[in-house]
Amino acid sequence: MTSAIEIKGLSKTFRSEFLQKEKKVLSNLNLSVESGTIFGFLGPNGAGKTTTIKLLTGLIHPTSGTAFIFGKSIREIVSREKMGFLPERPYFYEYLTGLEFLNFCGELFGLSRSSRDKKIDELLELVDLKGSEKMQMRQYSKGMLQRIGLAQALFNDPELVIMDEPMSGLDPVGRKEVRDIILHLKDEGKTVFFSTHILSDAELICDEVAILIGGTLRNQGKLEDFLNPKVKSIEVCLRGVSKEQLSQIKPMLSSMTFHDERILVCLDREERLEKLLAWVAQEKAQVISITPRKETLEDLFLEEYKVGVKA
Amino acid sequence: MRAIRAIAVNTFREAVRNKILYSLVFFALVMMLFSLVLDQATVGQRNKIIKDLGLGSINIFGVIIAIVVGINLVYKEIEKRTIYPILAKPVRRSQFLIGKYFGILLTLAVETLFMSAFLFLLVFFYEGVFDTHLPLALFMIFIELAVVSAVAIFFSSFSTPFLSGMFTFAIYVIGHLTTYLQEFGANSGSAILKALTTFFYYMLPNLERFNLKAEAVYQIPVESAKIYLSLLYAFLYIVMVLTLSVLSFERRDFK
Amino acid sequence: MFDKFSPKTKKVVLIIGVVLPLFFTQAYLQQPLNAYKVNQREDFLYLPSGDYLKPLALGYNQVVADLLWIKTVHYFGSHFTTDKEYPWLHHILSIIIDLDPQFDFPYYFGGIVLSMEADQKDRANDILARGMEAYPEKWEYPFYIGFNHYYHDGNPAAALPFIEKAAALPKVPEFVKSLVGTLYLETGKKETALQFFRKIYENTSDDLVREKISMKVEKILSEEVNHDIRD
Ligand SMILES: Nc1ncnc2c1ncn2[C@@H]1O[C@H](COP(=O)(O)OP(=O)(O)OP(=O)(O)O)[C@@H](O)[C@H]1O
Ligand SMILES: [Mg+2]
């Protein structure tokens, strides 16, 4: 089976207009996205995520290397037939109404009037823009623009949907709705490739992620293989013990924080919890809460970032 | 094909929803009305001023609209990133550019027709008959606008609106003088000047070919072969310029 | 299908296969199109007079005048080599003058070409008279008017006031001054002529001029004597 996206040695160097100064933004990117997955493309600001996406959608040309969408080179127009694209901070013709714009998109795909109307109705429902479709898009809020952007990206029932920061600028409800749409697309067997720096969103829905830092790929893999499933640390909140008492077991704790009479201690090994609890019972203190902390994408990200910056 | 049509219609819609277009058309109409006043002030041939100024206004305001719309067409799409979703669909850049070109042609056609209708009414009101010599001149004005807007699109396919506007306007002006310049260069005795003016003569559009205003005003018959040749010339020139535009547009990275 | 080629190949193919043929064909078309000569007459008749053109020039009067000047030279050139008829020369020159009265070359051009080449003396003088308005200190314009009257019509009486005027202006060469004397003679004002020559004689330090004038005066006087004898 061919991958949805196959990136091979993609590099991009921008040349500034006046001084012809070169700026290498993407170097030798190799990446493969299996179809049917939700793929998170992570990276800090300026990592080259948008650049990669623009290369995939044919908006800019690679300096070297190439990429394939379902086996079709991005140089060929057919590579865009099964693709949908939601740009970063989408902006559309402000003088058009949402309805006119979607109709225009349908015409670009060469759809007939009746199939356009049907599809538009369906999409407006999906992105929850029913009732605002007759407004000029200059009056749309950021969230509405994001929704109409999503609608236009889905017009051709794409097998692959590429989204650049689909959740940025949205409120928690909006983000949840976008996540739901992405999950819905996956249910339909579609591939979703999206960039983001909102890690918790990625963690919630991605099957696979790649981390791009400074134009180079740092890491790529299945989310579950990626993050250490073991508990990373345990936070225990205690009441009724004094500093002096605690100092007896200090070697066991990786950190202590005091809030009035409450104390938050941190253990970095699971087996130490038993000992701590035994000690607490012995000292007649109270346990308020025990929170195990697993490794998050954020930890991984920060780690990679540190390495990336050093390199 | 559908994509080109959709882009053309959308371009037309954008132009029509733009206030600048209306103010330009309004000015042109005012100029034509002004010709009524001037006509009162002249002795001798009546209606001449009305036709002169009418054809002149339709021509010059058409050129202004062609340039203003033409130079912004592509640039605005890139600047506002409205081009992104279009090109990420199975739409070629050449289709986009050609769609834009047809859009501006449609805009200019409607605008020229509207102003021509106004001129016809004025002349009818004055002479009591429909002037049958005007349509050919008006049609050729439209052909000139078609050439000028192709040039505007060419420049805007790689340059900023300001520069494109300057270049296009310069070409419009020089395009009316190429014949004189070439003769001037040939007689100047300077080899460099001669080479330069000859280059201009063949490279730049010879817009005087489309100027039949005098023929219309003085009702001089025009050979139909000349018209066909001029149309062929315009067509070839436009296709050439648009192909060059597509070539430079294909290469571009959209920021 | 075309997409399979590399962008560079595509470009080369388009340039060689499309752009160049189009370029040469459209360039070639200029030739048959040139066969349909633009009618110069109507071309200029179409120009409204300067009074109307001025507001339309939107303040770019000089630029429009320059463009028209290029047209004028072209018009002159094309007729000079063909029919030697210049019906619209005066019209377009006066538009240029209306637009840009300080542009001095059209006055010379009009003054000389219209009278000598186009045989339109009155129109030439009209242009020159406007030159006199624009540049009252230039001796050339009144001189040419006088010259036109004298040589074109053989009318020294009409020429005299203009040559006189020219002779009184700064930087005027000596020959204009002596021409005034000659004209006095020809219009029968012998006494004035003699007085005039004497004045030049006294005012100049140029020996050559003095010699010539004394020869002239002697000639006048001897003619007078002969006259008297004959009477
Ligand atoms: N047209 C361009 N010319 C020059 N440099 C550019 C251009 N476009 C992007 N860059 C540079 O390339 C780098 C990567 O930009 P890119 O937009 O791909 O980052 P990103 O990962 O999308 O960041 P963000 O999360 O902020 O959107 C940046 O340093 C940017 O300055
Ligand atoms: Mg980005």
Question: Residue B12's domain spans which residues?
Answer: 2-176+211-250
Contact B89 A60 (CB under 8 A): no
* A192 shares its domain with A244: no
Residue A264 and residue A237 in contact, taking contact as beta carbons nearer than 8 Å: yes
Please check whether residue B190 lies inside any domain of the structure: no
Please check whether residue B196 lies inside any domain of the structure: no
CATH number of the domain residue A128 falls in = 3.40.50.300
Long-range Cβ contact pairs of B170-175 (< 8 A, separation 24 or more):
B171/B204, B171/B205, B172/B63, B172/B67, B172/B148, B172/B207, B174/B200, B174/B204, B175/B147, B175/B148, B175/B204, B175/B205, B175/B206, B175/B207, B175/B208
Please check whether residue B232 lies inside any domain of the structure: yes
pLDDT of res. A306: 78
Q: CB of B43 within 8 Å of any CB in chain C?
A: no
pLDDT at A274 over 80: yes
What is the dihedral angle through the alpha carbons of C132, C135, C138, C144, rounded to the nearest 10 degrees? -30
What average pLDDT is seen over chain A?
A: 88
Region A277-291: what's the mean pLDDT? 85
Per-residue model confidence as pLDDT tens digits over A255-267: 888 887 888 888 8
Lowest-confidence range among A40-49, A70-79, C31-40, C157-166? C31-40
* C186 shares its domain with C137: no
Number of domains present in the structure of chain C: 2
pLDDT of res. C48: 65
Nearest Cα residue to atom 4 of ligand 1: A14
Please check whether residue A305 lies inside any domain of the structure: no
* C36 shares its domain with C83: yes
Residue scoring higher pLDDT (B135 or A227):
B135
Q: Is A49 in the pocket of ligand 1 (CB under 6 A)?
A: yes
Please check whether residue B49 lies inside any domain of the structure: yes
Q: Please report residues of C whose CB lies closer than 8 A to that of B233.
A: 26, 29-30, 33
Please check whether residue B45 lies inside any domain of the structure: yes
* C54 shares its domain with C138: yes
Number of domains present in the structure of chain B: 1
3-state secondary structure of C82: coil
| Residues B3, B97: Cα–Cα separation, whole Å | 11
Per-residue model confidence as pLDDT tens digits over A61-82: 999 999 999 999 999 999 999 9
Q: CB of C43 within 8 Å of any CB in chain B?
A: yes
Number of domains present in the structure of chain A: 2
Lowest-confidence range among A187-196, B28-37, B133-142, C101-110? B28-37
Please check whether residue A309 lies inside any domain of the structure: no
Per-residue model confidence as pLDDT tens digits over C117-153: 888 888 999 999 999 999 999 999 999 999 888 888 8
* A239 shares its domain with A221: no
Residue scoring higher pLDDT (B89 or C217):
B89
Please check whether residue A311 lies inside any domain of the structure: no
Residue scoring higher pLDDT (A100 or C14):
A100
pLDDT of res. C39: 52
Question: Residue C114's domain spans which residues?
Answer: 2-166
* A133 shares its domain with A279: no
Cα angle value A45/A46/A52 (rounded, 5°): 115
Question: Residue A85's domain spans which residues?
Answer: 5-226
| Minimal C-alpha gap between C69 and chain B (Å) | 11
Contact A61 B253 (CB under 8 A): yes
Residue A202 and residue A196 in contact, taking contact as beta carbons nearer than 8 Å: yes
Total residues found in chain B within this entry? 255
Please check whether residue B235 lies inside any domain of the structure: yes
Q: Is A87 in the pocket of ligand 1 (CB under 6 A)?
A: no
Residue scoring higher pLDDT (C108 or B219):
C108
The closest ligand to the CA of A52 turns out to be 1
Contact C7 A61 (CB under 8 A): yes
Q: Which atom of ligand 1 is nearest to the CA of A43?
A: 21
Please check whether residue A307 lies inside any domain of the structure: no
Q: CB of C191 within 8 Å of any CB in chain A?
A: no
pLDDT of res. B92: 93
Nearest Cα residue to atom 26 of ligand 1: A45
pLDDT at A222 over 90: no
* A209 shares its domain with A276: no
pLDDT of res. B84: 94
* C210 shares its domain with C182: yes
| Residues C10, B245: Cα–Cα separation, whole Å | 14
Strands A231-239 and A83-86 come out as unpaired
pLDDT of res. A52: 96
